[in-house]
Structure 1
């Protein structure tokens, strides 16, 4: 009997190469691989060229799809290469790890569950309550060899040498496990592995076992069969299902939380797939990444970087330049020492942005098959690299793409994220697209809602409408129905909207509901959506807002006034989207009557005045009169500042083009008493700080230019004026009234002289009246 147990490192390219040589030299009759036995029927797909790594086995509980796990494989994973070798040669392959069915139905007699490869490295709790953390065997071996970096030690010993070291690794693991605490999950898994191995020994003569090196001592140790049977006794099984799904190198990296991952999957892919000139080809790729981003990287620099990497490896006694050496060489030569360029290379090459693929005929739930067919139909291929897509909704294919992305968001699969907030124009959308492996689990979970994407999204929306407890939740669903074209969900959503709107008496909730409804009514024709019945609901909500608003506007605190102002802004924008002139007139009448109430807080009072002025309900003379009232002497500065903030929250161009309004605000600022100015300053900074940079610049230039018609210029203001500067009648900039302090002005001159390369001095200025 020939039995070989190959202890490998998960996702180690050196282990993969050595394993293939061993299998070729001593071909087995059966190959046992660490993995879930429920996936044995999926092994045959490894021979299909459509299954392109990185991929992962996805297992989930049939009764609870949210309980799922992944078993990832890269092209450089020893398990993947061994399975591919066996399938192409007709050798039977069997996964022999503990069945995943045990994990979805944990035994009541033991608090621990078996860990799959994606969970290695997580803390386990023993029966006595003591938390035990799995030992890092590679770290232990590296420390014993005097190395403080386990990754580099493993590269030197295994990845770069390419010689079989399975016996030595097994011996080292045995020494480590003699002193390491037993992990309950590992003991359960290894009991199952030994049971399967005994079964195969009775059937086959030549057996090859591929497993994590940590398990080799347990599989070679003589343990009575009854002891393993006793350990496995009493464990229940759940019902599970498996399939292949695409994976990414980003999720394979250990920093992503995957315990059995590696820090540099892109580098390991390069080591495995590149035969000769490993370092040269890597640095050529790094130069290509930089050039693609607009940075210079010449062939001469690549040659110099290769020489530097090899020199560093020689100085450090390494058999071959590793990732550390090529990274340092690239940063020094190609990146000019800039860390951001090095990070770019790390993201693109060291980790990699590769997304695997699965064949079209792969067994999957109906929802996944429908999504795959839809993706092909709209020519929108999943990709791990984040890309931006501009969609023109007037084009049929772009409209279908938009609907698909919105439907997936309903199902909790945010493949696309809106890149910018949707404004008043919706003929175009911009999306950021990036496919993540965990979306496969969410699709499995969403499969309970339907067999197609539209049907599942419709059912999910209907259920959310029934479960909604707030009016805002339902109005959000109304807009969702528009964006995702879920016409089948409209009756249930509109019924929920009627019910919530009738019960909700909070005017703020009613105001928050209107914008989404107005957008839906306005742009439903762009998306070719039937919106029958929604207009009546919107009209009813606006009528209730108009009735309830006056009562809600009395005795407001600062926070309540701000909330009311924001709500009225939203309603005003929503009314502007509606084509019904009667509704618009009713809204303007309501805020017109509210704006003149003497007890109204200054913030909403000023904002309503601005809205009426912009809508043409007030002329310029009336707007100036209303602005002048709160700015008169005797009005508390805080009230006046709030009024000005509300009035100017629509933008500062009004002050730029209306000199009279600018004069009123300017004079009011000048006349604020010094003892109260500090109290008003935060409101003023918040008001003027909200202006666009171009508006602030134009406003400052307008102030510096002075005012005609006998108005006071900034240079003529009395002492204590807040806006300094200005121009004389001849256009010359007026000099400041405060004399220059030569001592303070001279302080930065030495530094400035050094920076500019010339000697600078302070020239005394003329005093006023000279």
Structure 2
């Protein structure tokens, strides 16, 4: 029998406590568990019975003005109160509420009955205030083992031992359970009731109550006894807890002083015993709160998610199954049947066959398990076991999908536009509504066709948000096979903490466009040429013409001062892409193209110096830069500017025959010239590179430079293939072992289909040309065709 069940036997619910006529103002304290649907349901019934004229809820009083929005049809939980310091928005804190949170239901009850309601916990201005580190903080930082050892050294039985006397206090892990109980009151009560899981104990005792009686008097008595036995806590946490409870008592006194006669206090169950009447003198509480540090804060409502309510997200008051608790609150009748029906529907969306008969069998199994385990109702563990065994056929992957989608859930709340917020957030909300974009916590891919006006504006919005470090949308790879620069794919996932990022970004402007422009202009000074070029590209994608003009000036100035050829080569691709992208967006990129052309000419002038005396690692880096510049020059040449491309190719042709050039670069430049049809003696060059007198590693480097991504050359040019095959075959054993990694790396750039085709050519030779094959087939079929012609002629003659 559980602890609360024992108390129910001693004090039956029909005791007419509520019929006692109060002689003066009364205070009723309802100790709840945060985000407990059973607590919420029982609390609403208790408030109906008590009918208070003032409701005080655990939360920051700074946000009292926001309670007027509770009850608005557009304020849909889960939501959270956000309090932040306007001068330092990253200093912020959230107070989340779900639809099944008792605090939320208490506020709704007060608003529905037109009863005064307010928060009574320590203000956010105090909790977010900076504090100096003291010895109390060092006490909080002490390892748990040391604290536990100190507690175990006390003479006589400990408080937890007294509470947990019996079988639950014995065993090899008794000390660990005692430490857990001292930190988690619910765990202590669960162990006292014979449970090893506090979640299951609370679900059975409170969430699954069927008799309709109020659990709050019993919870209050149990918590009072637990606090008496555990005793005074130490450290900064204990000091903060004492201040919180002192502030709550002061708030209750203030409500009574205002003439309220029936005050309901809704708070965490642990705090309930110290808030009940009589409250005692106010002087000690006033002394404890004197000198409390404060700072200016701003409060607002922001959307929240069920996933952020989960304990796995790191939320201190989190629960393991927000989606399940929401279901219990919203579907109190036949919850198991409704839940497993929803599970079946979710699995069917994944093309998993789930019949109605399977749902019926799963319901029966869950109820049978609850009976065997002595539980009043089938809980989450029972429906999970039934789901695994019947609906998922033991498939843990399918069960994990159900857990993520339903047990935890991805529900996102909503906040009305009338809630006060920073102007940037208001503009972002209006923009997303106009562009038909919905904030969703579940990640989803969005393919954009930039030829459509709405998709082009969406792309600009996403790029502006990235400039502001708002990670709602991230570039992604599309599953749709498409080419061209008119397509973009984004991955969208809205997380509640982005609300703080929006507040931080609000210092740059009141709209997304103005904020992004100001942010870009603020980072121009001190950036390198490469960083400026990348910012130019992002700025062009975001359609910020004012910031782009200043960026181009800064980029041109930095390019004129930067003499490092590698820096010029790194900056060029971004500028070329930006110039080419302007054709799709309809943006004038004349100045940008001129800057890119200047960088090409400066690169051509300094490339010879940059490729002299390179070691192997530097050669690889310069090879990659040459490839990037070659692609960038190709983009610029698409606009009809052939002079830049001719100048670049002439530079490569002059460098390719240099004897002091690194073999990797020599092979790569030769390959680029072959692709440009400026070299027609590729077999002869390969023959020279593979001739005797050069180390095997040097030959392999030349081959790597020439044949990387060059499978087509080997497949269709027998001379090149024969030379390469002969060189590999002529290698001695020691040389073969040395060059094998380099050759494997080269052939690793070929696709599987290209490697198969190349292997077939090496094994069977080149296929017979189509015309020769046709002639051969005609010759073989000649006699047969002549016989058929003779037969047909005889038939016609008859």
Q: Within 5 A, what are the aligned runs for 1:283-432?
A: 283-420=340-477, 425-432=484-491
Query: Could you tell me whether the CA contact under 8 Å between 2:340 and 2:359 is conserved in 1?
Result: yes
2:203 is aligned to 155
1:64 is aligned to 88
Query: Does 1:177 pair with 2:233?
Result: no
Query: Does 1:193 pair with 2:248?
Result: yes
2:32 is aligned to 8
Query: Does 1:20 pair with 2:75?
Result: no
2:710 is aligned to 651
Query: Does 1:491 pair with 2:539?
Result: no
**Alpha-carbon distance change, 107 to 683 in structure 1, aligned in 2, over 3 angstroms:** closer
1:766 is aligned to none
**SS of aligned partner of 2:586:** coil
In the TM superposition, residue 653 of structure 1 has moved relative to its aligned partner by: 2.1
Higher percent of residues as helix: 2
Query: Could you tell me whether the CA contact under 8 Å between 2:709 and 2:749 is conserved in 1?
Result: no
In the TM superposition, residue 337 of structure 1 has moved relative to its aligned partner by: 1.1
**SS of aligned partner of 2:627:** helix
Of the three residues 600, 618, 623, the one matched with 1:565 is: 623
**SS of aligned partner of 1:69:** strand
Query: Could you tell me whether the CA contact under 8 Å between 1:487 and 1:530 is conserved in 2?
Result: no
Q: 1:643, 1:191 → 2: CA distance?
A: 79
Greater shift, 547-556 or 501-510, is seen at 501-510
Q: 1:327, 1:498 → 2: CA distance?
A: 64
Q: 1:466, 1:236 → 2: CA distance?
A: 38
1:95 is aligned to 119
Q: 1:291, 1:555 → 2: CA distance?
A: 64
1:520 is aligned to 578
1:441 is aligned to 500
Q: 1:502, 1:284 → 2: CA distance?
A: 69
Of the three residues 144, 161, 166, the one matched with 2:192 is: 144
2:648 is aligned to 587
**SS of aligned partner of 2:298:** strand
C-alpha RMSD of the superposition = 2.0
Gaps of 5+ in 2: 1-24, 148-179, 769-798
Larger RCO of the pair (alpha carbons < 8 Å, separation 6+): 2
**SS of aligned partner of 2:569:** helix
Larger radius of gyration: 2
Query: Could you tell me whether the CA contact under 8 Å between 1:107 and 1:234 is conserved in 2?
Result: no
**SS of aligned partner of 1:47:** coil
1:213 is aligned to 269
Query: Could you tell me whether the CA contact under 8 Å between 1:610 and 1:650 is conserved in 2?
Result: no
Q: 2:143, 2:439 → 1: CA distance?
A: 44
In the TM superposition, residue 697 of structure 1 has moved relative to its aligned partner by: 2.0
Q: 1:128, 1:697 → 2: CA distance?
A: 63
Query: Could you tell me whether the CA contact under 8 Å between 1:415 and 1:435 is conserved in 2?
Result: yes
Q: 1:601, 1:177 → 2: CA distance?
A: 78
Structure 1, residues 543-597: CA drift from partner, whole Å, max 9, x if none? 2211221112122222111111111111011111003211111111111111211
Q: 1:597, 1:65 → 2: CA distance?
A: 59
Structure 1, residues 397-434: CA drift from partner, whole Å, max 9, x if none? 11011111111111111111111299982201111111
**Alpha-carbon distance change, 568 to 258 in structure 1, aligned in 2, over 3 angstroms:** same
Query: Could you tell me whether the CA contact under 8 Å between 2:84 and 2:299 is conserved in 1?
Result: yes
TM-score, normalised with respect to structure 1: 0.87
**SS of aligned partner of 1:465:** coil
**Residue correspondences, number:** 695
Structure 1, residues 353-389: CA drift from partner, whole Å, max 9, x if none? 1111111222111111111111111111111121111
1:261 is aligned to 318
Structure 1, residues 569-626: CA drift from partner, whole Å, max 9, x if none? 110111110032111111111111112111222222211111111122222xx11111
**Alpha-carbon distance change, 240 to 467 in structure 1, aligned in 2, over 3 angstroms:** farther
TM-score, normalised with respect to structure 2: 0.84
Q: 2:141, 2:758 → 1: CA distance?
A: 73
Query: Could you tell me whether the CA contact under 8 Å between 1:521 and 1:531 is conserved in 2?
Result: yes
Query: Does 1:611 pair with 2:672?
Result: yes
Q: 1:491, 1:97 → 2: CA distance?
A: 52
Query: Could you tell me whether the CA contact under 8 Å between 1:52 and 1:357 is conserved in 2?
Result: yes
Greater shift, 206-215 or 142-151, is seen at 142-151
Q: 1:565, 1:158 → 2: CA distance?
A: 69
Structure 1, residues 211-268: CA drift from partner, whole Å, max 9, x if none? 1112112323755322211221112321111111111111111101111111110000
Structure 1, residues 133-176: CA drift from partner, whole Å, max 9, x if none? 98222222222223222211211111111542222222232333
Q: 2:720, 2:249 → 1: CA distance?
A: 88
Q: 1:159, 1:693 → 2: CA distance?
A: 59
**SS of aligned partner of 1:629:** helix
Q: 2:363, 2:616 → 1: CA distance?
A: 65
**SS of aligned partner of 1:382:** coil
